[in-house]
Amino acid sequence: MPKIPIIMPQLGESIAEATVVRLTVNVGDQIANDQEVIEVETNKAVMSVTTPCQGLLDSFTAEVNETYPVGSTLGYIEASAEDVERLNLAEPPLVASAWFGPSHNAASADQTLSADDSLADNLEIPIGQNGAAYQSPRLRARLQELGIHPDDAAVVPGSGIAGRVTVRDFEAYIEGLNRLPSKKASPMRLAVADSMRRSWTRPLATLGVSISLEPILAHRKTLTPSPGPALYLAKALAIALSEYPQSAARLIGDKIVLPASIDIGVAVEVEDGVIVPVFAELDKQPLAGLPGQYKKFLQSAKEKRLPEEAKRPAIASVTNFGTLGVHWATPIPLPNETLIMGLGYGEKRPFWDETAGCFVPRLEAELTISFDHRVIDGGQSGRLVRRIMELLGAPEGL
């Protein structure tokens, strides 16, 4: 015969428990419908508990003078199968404590989450709201407070979702750094750093060729003051770009932005950084006039006070890393430039002379071009370099 639990009822709105005062029947007694079997006491009153149906009192699990929460089983009654079926007592009894059960709360929490998701589906929302790239407003505020660029937080190993850097990750990193010696960076260093960081967001490629410096060296002797190799290169680049301006174009969104005029920068090393004075419309300026202008720029660059006309944004730059004794480098174009050309250290090398049928000494250097590979490809940059080599081979045409 099925055993049906006798339950501690909810004996008032704010009642959570009650104390058993007296068992008013004995185990083994035949219990009638609606018969009271246990007397219980709350802080409000003494009341009686009944059974869900008639039957034989099987057992009391509750003890007198003990307190039980609402919904507790106080004993069992043996009911007839017929009563169990008729009153649907096989189902677990409705107990007040079920209201506070975890299953209910979990169910409603799930519903909330799924409702939120469906909203997101209906709206155009930028992707990537969490994960490695995501920085919380709090982390960003902290970075700003410390003067750290958000991109520089990438050096911090992240423990968040998809490697996201949490504020705790960041603070641990900073704490480690604080134990090392440090000094304040100069404004020049910070400016160069910012420029290089912004530039590095692009896929940059570099290629290089060897060129003969002999024609340049021969030609510069004909001019007073005589221009340096960097100015020859700058002038040749200007002419080449005036012929192929799309090589210096910039890719912004879905647009190719072409240069308005051929303004070329020439990198100059200064204390704790680099300054790049700009020769405006260099394709139209005679080579002979450049050394004087360059001297002026050089002087003001050392004083970190460039004239206005030299401060306009260039479309491309040249850098003569050969002056440092360096043969080869992969310089980085400025953020608003698509390419930079470099000139390496000039030295005598054996060169096979076809007509003489022997090796002859020749002054050579490496010419490099570093470019934004999104805008130009290897072929286009190769053609540009060939054209520049051609121009530098006949400097009288510059």
Partner 1 sequence: MLDTLKQPKRGVVSPVSREQYVDAFNWMLLARTVEEKLASLWRAGKISGGVYLGKGQEAISAALGIMLKSGDIFGPLIRDQAGRLAFGESLIDVFRVHFGSRTSLSRGRDGNVHRGNPRGGYHAMISHLGSLISVVAGALVARRFQGDTTAIGATTIGDGGTSTGAFHEAINMAAVEKLPLVVVVVNNQYAYSTPNSRQFACSDLVERATGYGVEGHSLDGTDLQECLEVLGQATQRARSGHGPQMVVGDCLRLTGHGEHDDASYMDKTLSQTRLGRDCLKIAENYLQERHWADHVLLEDWRKNAKEQVENAVADAQHEPLADPAMETWCPYATKRIASAVLVR
Partner 2 sequence: MTITYLEAIREAQEKALRDDERVYIYGQDIGTLGGAFKATKNLAKEFPGRVLDAPISEDAMVGSAIGAAIEGMRPIIEMQFADFSMVAINQIVNQAATLYWRTQVACPITIRLPSGGNPGSGPFHSQCLESLYSHFPGLVVMTPATVEDAYTMLLEAVEIDDPVIFCEHKYLYNRLKCEVLPETGLPCDTARIARFGRDVTIVAYSAMVHEALAAADQLHKEDIEVEVVDLRCVKPFDLKTVLSSVARTARLLCVGESWPWGGVNSEVIASVVTHGFHLLDAPPQRINSKDTPVPFHPSLWGVHKPSSQVIAAAVRRLCDW
Q: Choose the one of partner 1, partner 2, none that binds residue 253, judging by a C-beta under 5 to 8 angstroms depending on kind.
A: none
Stretch that binds partner 1, among 84-92, 285-293, 322-330, 372-380 (CB under 8 A): 84-92
For partner 2, the binding residue among 13, 94, 113, 125 (CB under 8 A) is 125
Q: Choose the one of partner 2, partner 1, none that binds residue 295, judging by a C-beta under 5 to 8 angstroms depending on kind.
A: none
Count of all residues that appear for the chain in the document:
398
Contact (Cβ atoms closer than 8 angstroms) between residue 272 and residue 186: yes
Q: In the window 52-81, what residues touch partner 1 (CB under 8 A)?
A: 52, 70-71
For partner 1, the binding residue among 104, 197, 349, 374 (CB under 8 A) is 104
DSSP SS3 for 42: coil
Using rule CB under 8 A, residue 356 touches partner 2: no
Decide whether 95 or 249 has the Cβ nearer to partner 1. 95
Q: How far is the CB of 116 from partner 2 (least distance, A)?
A: 7
Question: Helices (DSSP H) in the chain: which residue ranges?
Answer: 81-86, 102-122, 137-146, 167-177, 187-199, 214-220, 229-243, 290-302, 378-393
> How many Å apart are CA 25 and CA 1, to the nearest integer?
20
Q: Taking the CA of residue 103 as centre, how many other CA atoms within 13 Å lie in the half-sphere pointing to its CB?
A: 3
> How many Å apart are CA 198 and CA 127, to the nearest integer?
23
For partner 1, the binding residue among 108, 114, 178, 201 (CB under 8 A) is 108
Closest CA to 23 of 1, 55, 49, 54: 49
Using rule CB under 8 A, residue 126 touches partner 2: yes
> For residue 207, with 0-12 CB atoms within 10 Å meaning exposed, 13-18 middle and 19 or more buried, which class applies?
middle
Decide whether 129 or 201 has the Cβ nearer to partner 2. 129
Stretch that binds partner 1, among 88-96, 160-168, 226-234, 299-307 (CB under 8 A): 88-96
Q: How far is the CB of 136 from partner 1 (least distance, A)?
A: 25
Binding site for partner 2 (CB under 8 A): 116, 119-120, 122-126, 128-129, 134, 137
